[in-house]
Homo-oligomer: A and B are copies of this chain.
Amino acid sequence: MTSPGEPGPGTFTYAYPRPALTVDCVVFGLDVDDLKVLLIQRRLEPHQHMWALPGGFVRLDETLPDAARRELAEESGITDVYLEQLYTFGALDRDPRERVVTVAYYALAKLSDHRIRAATDAERVAWFALDGLPRLAFDHAKIVERAIERLRGKVRYAPVGFELLPPRFTLTQLQRLYEIILMQPLDKRNFRKKLLSMDLLIETDEVEQGVRHRAARLYRFDKKKYEKLTRQGFSFAI
């Protein structure tokens, strides 16, 4: 059913029509006091010059998460993120050209780690605060909305928040992270009590640098122990 001709456009023929299949990524990054999303400005039609999620067509020789990572790297330069499937969007009219089904992923990136740079289909790349998003191409606003919902849910019963922080962090940074994602203030003593009682934070002998007040102790998350406990039925909860 498929005719040959590997790289570059060719002619591929099938007995039944097929939707195009793409992946799109909602990449979250934690800034000083808000949560940001990575967007690219489209170089090409449709929706030329509009802001959109990084993403693109799935190739036959790559899995869905591979496609998501490739597109992310190509269009924005971002690599090494925590990536998880979000939802598959298939409304009939979500792309003006033809039927396109997209598998959306969401990713958590450490903002400071990444020098973003636009390339391939992207004219520009930038981080946008969640409450200051521009109008987005296609149904990408819906996808972002769903990703936020999911992140808010997930962060409460899985330790994904650590993916947004540097490997060593203070308890105050961790608390700010939860406050930003959940959009509600948390009590300092109760927060520390809960987190420390899980016994998944390892106290290091370092303190934060470059602050102009008493420096806070740095902790790391004990991922190994978390995975072990999880296998034994433990469940993380904030």
Contact = CB atoms under 8 A, between A and B. Distances in A.
B12 A18 contact: yes
A17 interface: yes
Contacts of A92: 61-63
Q: How large is the interface on A (under 10, 10 to 19, 20 to 34, 35 or more residues)?
A: 20 to 34
B18 A18 contact: yes
B88 A103 contact: yes
A9 B18 contact: no
A90 interface: yes
A190 interface: no
B21 A16 contact: no
Contacts of A61: 92
Interface in A1-59: 1-2, 9-21, 57-59
Nearest to A99: B60
This chain's copy number in the assembly: 2
A58 B19 CA distance: 8
Contacts of A9: 15-16
Contacts of A98: 1-2
A64 interface: yes
Interface in A185-220: none
A234 interface: no
B90 A103 contact: yes
Given A9-B15, A13-B13, 13 more contacts: A9-B16, A11-B14, A12-B14, A12-B16, A12-B17, A13-B14, A17-B59, A17-B60, A21-B21, A61-B92, A63-B91, A64-B88, A90-B103
